Copies of this chain bind each other. A is one copy, B any other.
Amino acid sequence: MQTRLCQMLGIGFPLVAFSHCRDVVAAVSRAGGFGVFGAAGTTPEQLEIELSWIDAHTDGHPYGVDLLVPENLAFRTEAGATQGSLAGKIPNSHRAFVHDLLRRHSVDPTAGRDPREDPDRLPSYQFETAEKLMDVAFRHPIRLIANALGVPPASMRERARQHGIPCAALVGAREHAERQVAAGVDILVAQGGEAGGHCGEVSTLVLVPEVLRATQGKVPVLAAGGIMTGRQMAACMAMGAEGVWTGSVWLATVESETSPVFREKMVAARSRDTVRSRGRTGKPARQLRSAWTDAWEGPDSPAPLPMPLQGMLSEPAMARATRAAEAGNAQARALVSYFVGQGVGLVEDIPDCRQVVAGFMTDFAAALEDMQRVAQSL
């Protein structure tokens, strides 16, 4: 396929796969899609390791990197801040709530050392951290840099220009799209409210035409949110999107580092089993409903903390619950959750990434054939 978007990314099939797992990123790019490594939450040292591995496993196929630098944060850390300097902002009552929740599910709230609790670690989602991650990313042959929450910082757009690669941004509302284009973003990802992770409330089917109408073809638009099949991809392109950005579908692959417990939950889940909750990151993010999300919705629950504090509480706790569940603790299993969209209702098994990409291509072609038959019958 020769479209503006395909040329920008150096690909022939505009299926973009977002993943925090390097194996997924490399496998999708090798199979003819475009893998994007989600670097939010990693350290610069870790990112260097991941991208070097990807370079060695993509056989020269293009890939990208996604950061999460929120435009709006409740507070910004000072230069040199660490997780340790932020930890004091987490109320003891919140820590007690989480410890109690874990104990009620037979999970030891202090079991094992979690690297994300290291006080010397750089805080996530901060400009300073993002700069250091970008220092690493731009030393690698990335073909796209994206920001997952709000207008990318000026330095991200500037560095992308210097390296001759596009800068993408996710949007959940028409107004965001207009601001992003005005700020000089090269590719928009119009992500509907059915998506996993941070999302708005407008559905993909409504948001995509809204964003296209508002931006008038100035930049390519990728559709995102709920897309698990090539027919849905064809649907989005029939509306005028130049491709799709996908996430949840890659969690249910053999290459994914997702816990086997969560993968089993995905296969069992219905589309109505997800919830848009602040309980994981502090901002509304869609995830599988579990005892964790229920706990933060309760009438007596404390309000979730602003980003990044809520994640500092939730991530180590959820890691402990997941490890306990993997070890066979049935009560802990009830807590296990992760970011996933409503498309989880379409997950039936755990294929490998090559099969998923091939399935998208077959399914996409079948949809085009059907549409050709319709066109001939008009």
Binding site for B on A (CB under 8 A): 1-3, 173-175, 192-194, 200-207, 209-210, 213, 225-229, 231-232, 234-240, 270-272, 341-343, 345-346, 365, 367-372, 374-375, 377-378
Interface-central residue, A239, A341, A377, by most chain B CB under 10 Å: A239
Taking CB atoms, residues of chain B closer than 8 Å to A374 are 1, 237, 368
Taking CB atoms, residues of chain B closer than 8 Å to A209 are 228-229, 231-232, 346
Is B205 within 8 A of A345, CB to CB? no
- A293 to chain B minimum Cβ distance, whole angstroms, is 14
* Complex: A81 Cα to B240 Cα, angstroms: 53
Is A271 within 8 A of B237, CB to CB? no
Taking CB atoms, residues of chain B closer than 8 Å to A341 are 206
- A242 to chain B minimum Cβ distance, whole angstroms, is 10
Is A194 within 8 A of B205, CB to CB? yes
Taking CB atoms, residues of chain B closer than 8 Å to A236 are 205, 235
Is B1 within 8 A of A377, CB to CB? yes
Contact of A377 among B2, B229, B235 (CB under 8 A): B2
Taking CB atoms, residues of chain B closer than 8 Å to A206 are 194, 226, 228, 271, 341-343, 345-346
Closest 6 CB pairs of A and B: A235-B235, A194-B203, A203-B203, A368-B375, A206-B226, A234-B238
Is B207 within 8 A of A271, CB to CB? yes
Taking CB atoms, residues of chain B closer than 8 Å to A272 are 173, 200-202
